[in-house]
Amino acid sequence: MHEGTRQVLDLCTGNGSLAIIAAHVYPDTVVCASDLSQDALDVAALNVADHGLQARITLLQSDGLQAPTLQAQGPYDLLLCNPPYVNAHSMACLPPEFQAEPALALDGNADGGRDGMDFVRRLLRDAPQHLHRQGVLVLEIGHERAFFEAAFPALPAVWLPTSAGEDQVLLLTREALVS
Ligand SMILES: C[S@@+](CC[C@H](N)C(=O)[O-])C[C@H]1O[C@@H](n2cnc3c(N)ncnc32)[C@H](O)[C@@H]1O
């Protein structure tokens, strides 16, 4: 993040965990946290309240980046996203504990694709217009790096080491997205 980071967006917030972590780690920011699922947002609201962060985290319903209220809070300096990214083959072989999760949270083939990258395709197309000039996107892709790189071979992603591995979370600058 650059020094003037003020606006953070946690897209696909689910239970709100990334938004809450961002608000704690970056105390000078305000955070918008959005999800398509109202059930997820209801859980996020409980968690935000548990952390006493209602004044700094706005929860709103949006399909991707489409909601006008989400757009009005931007442009964002930091866009965090842990989207649905499971490919069609893996969706068909999910172990029972994942089958118990809502498919909306996992299935990355909402537009009819098979590689799990449908949501990510839309995100990478739309993100630049919602990012500050020096803004960055930090995207979790889980174990799907091969599918990501096959779908976006020219993108100069910076892979960020995490406790879960070296190739599950990537960073893209706005500049890289528009080039
Ligand atoms: C893998 S979960 C991520 C949850 C949370 N951010 C985390 O890191 O634990 C993906 C989330 O994306 C949401 N989602 C799926 N499709 C979406 C869409 N088109 N627009 C916004 N959110 C969506 C799901 O409801 C789910 O909460």
The domain spanning residue 48 has which CATH number? Answer: 3.40.50.150
Entry pTM:
0.96
Q: What DSSP state is assigned to residue 86?
A: B
Q: Give the type of residue at 97.
A: E
Q: How many angstroms separate the alpha carbon of residue 113 from the centre of ligand 1?
A: 18
Residue from 35, 79, 117 to probe ligand 1 pocket by mutation (most atoms less than 8 Å from CB) = 35
CB neighbours of 107 closer than 8 A, spacing ≥ 6? 84, 86, 91, 116
2, part of any domain: no
Per the structure, the complete domain to which residue 90 belongs is given by 7-163+172-178
- Which of these, 42, 91, 41, 86, lies nearest to 67 by C-alpha position? 41
1, part of any domain: no
Number of structural domains (the chain) is 1
60, part of any domain: yes
Q: Give the type of residue at 91.
A: M
CB neighbours of 144 closer than 8 A, spacing ≥ 6? 85, 86, 87, 108, 116, 117
Sorting pLDDT into bands at 50, 70 and 90, what band is 68?
A: very high
Q: Which atom of ligand 1 is nearest to the CA of 64?
A: 20
Q: How many CB atoms within 10 Å of residue 158?
A: 12
Question: How far is the C-alpha of 177 from the C-alpha of 152, rounded, in Å?
Answer: 11
Q: How many angstroms separate the alpha carbon of residue 14 from the centre of ligand 1?
A: 5
Shortest-distance Cα residue to atom 4 of ligand 1: 14
Residues 24-59: pLDDT tens digits?
Answer: 999 999 999 999 999 999 999 999 999 999 999 999
Using a 6 Å cutoff on CB, does residue 9 contact ligand 1?
A: no
Q: How many angstroms separate the alpha carbon of residue 141 from the centre of ligand 1?
A: 12
Q: What DSSP state is assigned to residue 127?
A: G
